[in-house]
Structure 1
């Protein structure tokens, strides 16, 4: 099926839930005389939605003959809220979309709060085991890259912004209705305000507390527009999805040690205050075989400046050969 780039598409699962996504970079299917594109599933941050991936320039994808399928997680954007979900349910949602779109093999790119979901896929989706893989094998996953990923909060969080620590603690100890109301009061109301300047002003103020490199990223119209739009999408239906996800970020349902780290790339900014570098360093130790790329003079929001290098690294090799 031809899916128009940049437009929302949806799939209704047998359970009745709706999954929504946006395709970036061009059509998924091409003419027989053209080389099939590489397909990358993009997992957005928290709280966010699929339009976050619009910050990636189309030319970057077209030059690499790559398509991004950016998916709204349940409760965000146009995907149905699913309060009983677990992080380990996510791989089945991804495979449902891949099957629906006739995508046999794919890569995964997770940003920030999308990191745990990328790792869940590395945990549960069969991987390609060689460069010249057998088309009849059950392997689906070619490689995983995580940009400024969230990691278990039991790891070294020294340097994390105080307000973020408070919100994460609230997710661990308060009932979901309370955290949903809190997030909706803090961000949701501004995100749904008919005056777009209300959210922009609030996010402008938040960015002023970030490292200088992130302030520079915020001056880029495409990055700022993607952040604002994806935040609006995250709260378009209230704060329930955010509350559920915050609870799940405090209890992944699996351990990093359960994952084969080969074929996983961890990209992290040394100036990151959302997820301090120490968390990524400790996570890497628990993922034997994972490759780390710790970027100087880089925070959280500005990791997108490295997107070409990240994509080239991700698309260059299948899982087991990144040694």
Structure 2
């Protein structure tokens, strides 16, 4: 299959008031509707969405490297709250008065945290990592996930160091591909997607494994915000064959009940990578719900 993923059309970085930089990439018309892309584990700004869909819908897709990944400055002990403040300043600096956010896999809590950014008008989570440390999910967690959540709760710093000693771009690629559903395998086999994903991972680890380790610990921790206070539209998308234990043990059912304006979609016969095969449907839903909510 062909995903239509291409290299970024524009690359740059934005300096924040504290001196750090956020690296970013863009696709689509500069005058288009801005959508922030919060990508999966350790993937830098180099992985986007099918460019023909982006252009057809008039979207300006903006992928931003999280701290310590790609071109974004590392930040010791950064938090989801720090990420929210970074994106708020980023939006102001780049004059993004209104934008939406998409969170894929581990990018989900980072996208959802952006609901507190004044410029963000809607969020879509696709195959998203849930609040795995929430007590309501504890009985449903796979043993390896439950163990990691317990380790983070006991000592986040020790767990972070442990993760950093065992991860690199090749290891993560092998894990992602090797544990994926057949539908996902067809996405990963697309040469253009393969090149973009592998480059995104290589850049994600270009500063070493610390950025990946930090974001993993944050994803395994309690969220510093209450989803029940989110008032903007939130779409939750899951494939019914998604077997990734770090996404959501109940395909977002519990999370949907915690967010007042959430709509949950479960796509049949799909694994976790359907963001790149169902892009049009996902983006149209997000844009429609934002328009209705106004």
1:273 shift after superposition:
2.1
C-alpha spacing 1:224/1:168, structure 2 compared with 1 (3 Å) = farther
Q: Verify the 8 A CA contact 2:160 2:217 in the aligned structure 1.
A: no
Q: TM-score, normalised by structure 2?
A: 0.85
Partners of 2:243 and 2:141 in 1: CA distance: 5
- Tell me what 1:68 maps to: 61
Task: Within 5 Å, give how 1:238-257 maps onto structure 2.
Answer: 238-249=208-219, 250-257=221-228
Q: From 33, 46, 50, give the equivalent of 1:51.
A: 46
1:301 shift after superposition:
2.4
Structure 1 unpaired stretches of 5+: 29-35, 127-139, 192-198
Q: From 187, 205, 210, give the equivalent of 1:235.
A: 205
Q: Highest CA radius of gyration, 1 or 2?
A: 1
1:5 shift after superposition:
5.1
Q: Verify the 8 A CA contact 2:8 2:46 in the aligned structure 1.
A: no
The DSSP-based 3-state class of the residue aligned with 1:48 is: coil
- Tell me what 2:166 maps to: 186
- 1:281 aligned onto 2:253: yes
Deviations 1:195-244 (A, max 9, x none): xxxx2x87346523322222222222233223222221221111211222
1:271 shift after superposition:
1.5
Q: Verify the 8 A CA contact 2:128 2:248 in the aligned structure 1.
A: no
Q: From 15, 22, 25, give the equivalent of 1:22.
A: 25
Structure 2 unpaired stretches of 5+: 1-6
- Tell me what 2:35 maps to: 40
Q: Verify the 8 A CA contact 2:16 2:90 in the aligned structure 1.
A: no
1:179 shift after superposition:
3.9
Q: Verify the 8 A CA contact 2:40 2:106 in the aligned structure 1.
A: yes
Q: From 171, 177, 191, give the equivalent of 1:221.
A: 191
Partners of 2:152 and 2:194 in 1: CA distance: 27
The DSSP-based 3-state class of the residue aligned with 2:252 is: helix
- Tell me what 2:4 maps to: none
Task: Within 5 Å, give how 1:1-323 maps onto structure 2.
Answer: 6-26=9-29, 28=30, 36-53=31-48, 56-122=49-115, 124-126=116-118, 140-153=119-132, 154=134, 155-156=136-137, 166-176=147-157, 178-188=158-168, 191=169, 199=170, 203-204=173-174, 206-249=176-219, 250-260=221-231, 262-274=232-244, 275-276=247-248, 278-318=250-290, 321=293
Q: TM-score, normalised by structure 1?
A: 0.78
1:252 shift after superposition:
1.8
RMSD: 2.6
1:21 shift after superposition:
0.6
The DSSP-based 3-state class of the residue aligned with 1:308 is: helix
The DSSP-based 3-state class of the residue aligned with 2:19 is: coil
